[in-house]
Amino acid sequence: MLNTSAALQGGKMSREEFRRQKDLDAARKAGTAPAAVDEEGNAINPHIPEYITKAPWYADTGKPSLAHQRIGKSDGPALKLDEWYERGQTAGPAAKKYRKGACENCGAMTHKKKDCLERPRKKGAKFTNKDIAPDEVIQNFQSDYDSKRDRWNGYDPSSYKNIVDEYEATEAARKKFREEEIDNQTSTDMSTAKKLAKKEKKENGEGDDDDFGSSDEDEDDEDKYAEAADQIGQKLDTKTRITVRNLRIREDTAKYLHNLDADSAYYDPKTRSMRDAPVQGMAPEDMKFAGDNFQRHSGDATNMQRLQMFAWQSSQRGHNVHMLANPTAGELLHKDFQEKKEVLKDTNKNSILARYGGEEHLERLPRELLNGQTEDYVEYSRSGQVVKGRERAVPRSKYDEDVYINNHTSIWGSYYDLSSGTWGYGCCHSLISGSYCTGEAGKSANTSSSVSALLESSARVREIEEKAEKERKSLAEQHREDIASGKTSKGKEREVPKYGGRPDDLLDDDKVDLDREKLKKALEHEKKRKGLNESEAWEQNKKSKTDVTQEEMEAYRLSRQGYEDPMANYKDPEDY
């Protein structure tokens, strides 16, 4: 339990030192090793926890000690339990003039204005120099635990004699006043008659009569306590002289007064309970009091009973569940129990049905069959009109039902056109909201118009594609023939096809003049180059010159023109 020298010096203990320290602590607890000793030679209990014996860093002296757990000793004298100090004593007579540094309120030198216990004056003694209070006697001593909490220390028992004298004088005056009041009153109540008879017997020297009763208690003492006694239903508390509210209002009728019949509900006076209703054969909402059982089975009373039963059954099975000690935990456990119970119930039900069958017998009949039989009698005529009785009212919603506009028999949104992707009316297939219904004629017209429009659009697209393909092929053939025959289109602007072809004017003779011989050689060279594989074509390209003539470019273009242009048949959707 105690720190080693390495730990006390602020260093870190090694593993061997830590093990040795633990063995020493165990031996000290077992009693085989002597206990540690502090600086004063006192033994330290080895069973004291480490967080008590270990001193904080600012109070650590490097030695085992419990001095940091003790209150520091004072140099002043200690006041014992049987010693007394002066209370309320003054040090000589009061001063005549205000002294500098004294209390500004009363003029005493022993305290300041903020600590003054006298009533705050309108003008303090500092400004008036009047009624200067004497200085108090202040004792300096060190009190221990008991003397500090002794509330009777310094009390003078002789000062209590004034209170006793005042009480005795008040009691004597009260007795005298009471006797005068009894002598003056002329009432015939029992107590007054007893007192008058007793007074007469005392005057005649006779003893007490048994007719009026005899008691060892003094009649005066009974009168003394009778005045201070609380009466039933009073609204003034005689002890504290304050108005109090009764527990039961006067309009509240007692349970046993609702029905005075002796054979009515039983009323238990000990528990003040009446289980059954005092008046039988009356609706509960009309009763002023329906019995205690009516309240026992209303609200959360039944839930509390289930929780209590669950707690009792759980405690019998060894579980620590108590509704009063821990109601929240009990309610949560009861909730989990109910959920698991429902799951287990469904599981058992499904397993039994899966094994033995019979699920069709558990299905409930339709509501129309269950409630089909009724006592409502209705007679109809041949035309369907009600002759006798009335029809059953059909439940309707708060919204308007079966209300159609413009001669429609279906609502907007009951039809969807796949070709246009829009909604319409199901009765006429009209795609215009708010239109007039045309019936079956509108259906056929919309169907024919949609089919004809689709066929017409597809035929138009096909015609445009064929026309473009013909133009492209004719222009390409004409261009090849012109180049092969050596003809030029001088003074004639090349016509660019709408689809396909190259819309450039680089081959126009007005701009570029090509040598026919060089063009033929370039075409032959391009044909030979096409017959080579990739490696041979790569080697030939490295040996060839870097400058390319216009004839070679035209030969390369003409050789590539044998392939189909992938964009030749492209059609822009915006053109349709």
pLDDT at 7 over 60: no
Q: How far is CA 151 from CA 81, 89, 146, 148, in A?
A: 11, 18, 10, 8
Of 61-70, 268-277, 295-304, which gets the smallest average pLDDT?
295-304
463-487 pLDDT per residue, tens: 877 887 887 777 777 777 776 665 5
Which of 253, 248, 51, 81 shows the shortest CA–CA distance to 151? Answer: 81
What's the CA gap between 411 and 443, in Å, rounded? 15
| 32 or 140, higher pLDDT | 32
Residue 51: which residues within 8 A CB-CB, separation 6 or more?
none
User: Across 9-13, 132-136, 216-220, which has the greatest mean pLDDT?
Assistant: 132-136
CA 293 vs. chain centroid, Å, equals: 36
Band the pLDDT of 244: cuts 50, 70, 90.
low
Q: How far is CA 200 from CA 194, 205, 273, in A?
A: 10, 8, 51
483-538 pLDDT per residue, tens: 666 554 444 444 444 434 444 444 444 445 667 777 777 777 777 776 666 566 55
pTM for the model: 0.23
Query: Residues 272-300: what's their mean pLDDT?
Result: 83
Helices 550-560 and 516-531 sit at what angle, rounded to 10 degrees?
A: 50
pLDDT at 222 over 70: no
Q: What is the signed CA dihedral for 161, 165, 166, 167, rounded to 10 degrees?
A: 100
DSSP of 427-469: TT---STTPPP-HHHHHHHHHHHHHHHHHHHHHHHHHHHHHHH
Q: What is the 3-state secondary structure (H, E, C) of 499-538?
A: CCCCCCCCCCCCCCCCCHHHHHHHHHHHHHHHHCCHHHHH
Query: Residues 433-447: what's their mean pLDDT?
Result: 80
Residue 405: what are its φ and ψ, rounded to 5°?
-110, 155
Residue 212: what are its φ and ψ, rounded to 5°?
-95, 0
Dihedral sign for Cα atoms in the order 200, 202, 203, 209: positive
- Tell me the pairing of strands 422-425 and 412-417: antiparallel
- Tell me the pairing of strands 412-417 and 379-380: unpaired
Question: Kind and range of the H or E element at 184?
Answer: helix 161-184
296-318 pLDDT per residue, tens: 777 788 888 889 999 999 988 88
Which of 369, 415, 376, 370 shows the shortest CA–CA distance to 392? Answer: 376
Per-residue pLDDT, 80? 65
Write down the mean pLDDT value for the chain: 76
Q: Is 188 exposed, middle or buried (0-12, 13-18, 19+ CB in 10 A)?
A: exposed
CB 253 within 8 A of CB 288: yes
What's the CA gap between 499 and 472, in Å, rounded? 7
395-417 pLDDT per residue, tens: 777 777 778 888 888 888 888 88
What's the CA gap between 467 and 478, in Å, rounded? 17
Of 21-30, 181-190, 264-273, 361-370, which gets the smallest average pLDDT?
181-190
What's the CA gap between 236 and 251, in Å, rounded? 20
CB 522 within 8 A of CB 552: yes
Q: How far is CA 439 from CA 414, 424, 435, 445, in A?
A: 14, 13, 12, 10
Per-residue pLDDT, 504? 43
- Tell me the pairing of strands 236-237 and 242-243: antiparallel
Band the pLDDT of 28: cuts 50, 70, 90.
very high
Per-residue pLDDT, 202? 67
CB 275 within 8 A of CB 293: yes
Of 186-190, 267-271, 545-549, which gets the smallest average pLDDT?
186-190
| 162 or 11, higher pLDDT | 162
CB 3 within 8 A of CB 64: yes
Give the CB-side neighbour count of residue 34, counting CA atoms within 13 A.
6
Q: Where are the alpha helices (H) located in 60-137, listed in sequence order?
A: 125-128
CA angle 529, 532, 534 (to 5 degrees): 110
CB 473 within 8 A of CB 499: no
Token pair in block for residue 315:
């405690």
Query: Residues 442-447: what's their mean pLDDT?
Result: 76
Q: What is the DSSP letter of 571?
A: -
